[in-house]
Amino acid sequence: MLRERAELRLLLDIKSKVNNLEQHHSNCKVTVNDISISTKDIHTQNETIKSQYEELINELIALKKRLLKSETMVIELQEQLSEKKKKIKRLNTEIEQKDTQIEIDKNSLNQAIDQKDKAIVKLMQDLESKVSQVIEQNNTINDLQADITKVRVSDQVALKIREQMHYKGFVTEKELEDIIEGIRKPNIIF
């Protein structure tokens, strides 16, 4: 009986262990099923993550290309900016030189204008002097013409008086006046 008891106990222990193993096996099946489902979920999530990762990689590559293109454009723009700055500096230098030349030319022209104004004033004075001289000479000429006319009249009067004296031997005062009047007004015939 001891033996039977020991066997019974052994059987009970074995049965208990088998029940425990079955329970454990059942739990393991559930766990394996859960793990299988989890594995499928993880595999699905892994595929989704891979897809998202590939999209992100593609976006990153596109962004890197855009960044590279932008950096190239920035370099080109910096070069253009540098060239434009040099050109602006050169143009400013040219403008300063031209401003200086304009100022020199302006001063030169102002001096030339001043000299021309002085020359014009001198010429105007000379002209006024010449006009005065011409007027004086015209007056002198007029006086000389009047004197010449008087001399001619005198010569003509003397000639007429001689003619009258030659015919008559004398000249009356009235005849003398007629002779002088006739010489002054040539239409009168004596």
- Cβ-Cβ contacts under 8 Å for 160 (sequence gap 6 or more): 179, 182, 183, 190
Predicted local distance difference test score (pLDDT) of residue 30: 66
pLDDT of residue 121: 94
Average pLDDT score over residue span 100-114: 94
The pLDDT of residue 91: 96
d(CA 104, CA 102): 5
Residue tagged 């050109």 (tokens): 87
Return the percentage of the chain with pLDDT > 90, whole number. Answer: 45
pLDDT tens digits along 154-184: 777 777 778 777 787 777 888 778 877 777 6
**pLDDT at position 29 over 90:** no
Mean pLDDT (the chain, rounded): 84
Question: Tokens standing for 99?
Answer: 């401003």
pLDDT at 185: 64
- What pLDDT, in 10s, does the model give residues 58-100? 999 999 999 999 999 999 999 999 999 999 999 999 999 999 9
Q: Assess whether pLDDT exceeds 90 at residue 5.
A: no
Please state the pTM of the whole predicted model.
Answer: 0.41
State how far the Cα of 184 lies from the Cα of 157, in Å rounded to an integer. 10
- Listed in sequence order, the DSSP H helices in the chain are 2-167, 173-184
Query: Is the pLDDT reported for residue 6 higher than 60?
Result: yes
Residue 1 is predicted with a pLDDT of: 62
Residue 32 pLDDT:
67
